[in-house]
Amino acid sequence: MNAVITGASKGIGKAIAEKLALEGFNVAICARNAATLAETQAAVQAKNPAVKVLAIAVDMGNKEEVLAFADTVKNNFSTIDILVNNAGIYTPGAIHQEEDGLLEKLMAVNVYSAYYLTRALLPVMIAQQKGHIFNMCSTASLKSYPNGGSYSITKHALLGFSKNLREELKNLQIKVTSVNPGPTLTASWEGFSGPPERLMPPEDIASVVWSAYQMAPQTVVEEILLRPILGDL
């Protein structure tokens, strides 16, 4: 069994990679920071020394690097059971105040990377007539909020991509799940001064991804919504 997780050097991506390795999956992970990625590769491998952990430094905002990563995955894995499009950048701000070019930058990482990688890996899933794609959206995909700016725009777009993909692939026996987490203890919340229990642990996101994957072949969880018990921040 093989899985591909983007943006996996920390946070939700790392938690998912560790969970899948524990469950016996070979995993291909990527992130921009090579040093942090190497540390994550060692941590994931430690969870299960019997699996293969492929780690490639990739700028997910660069189409050529995304496609090169896809080629590396296909050269190492003959099948792809799970794809988790998790790479993303969070930059708060109001549309009329944020710096010029921010929308394009966030679209490249938060949306286009998922589009390019999915298109590149889908032929493998189609040939094997199975597979599960998880797109890591957000509560920002569902509701506008102050200082959402371009980030919220891209997360709405990613949810739209995910819904469209679900319709296109259902007759090919390929599942698509949109995951919409609220505030989670990741790098996006570094410096948060509130009580730690206001943020969800990334391991919880990994747990629900695994639960959704384990459903019967004829069952798909289309959308998952998670929030801290006290609500969004």
**Active site (catalytic) residues:** 151
| Helix segments in 100-231, DSSP class H | 102-107, 113-128, 149-169, 202-213
Cα–Cα distance, 47 to 62 (Å, whole number): 31
Residue 73's identity, in one-letter code, is V
Phi, psi torsion values for 134, nearest 5 degrees: -110, 125
In this structure, are residues 223 and 180 in contact, taking their beta carbons and an 8 Å threshold? yes
Closest CA relative to residue 90, chosen from 214, 182, 196, 19: 182
Gap between the Cα atoms of 65 and 57, Å rounded: 9
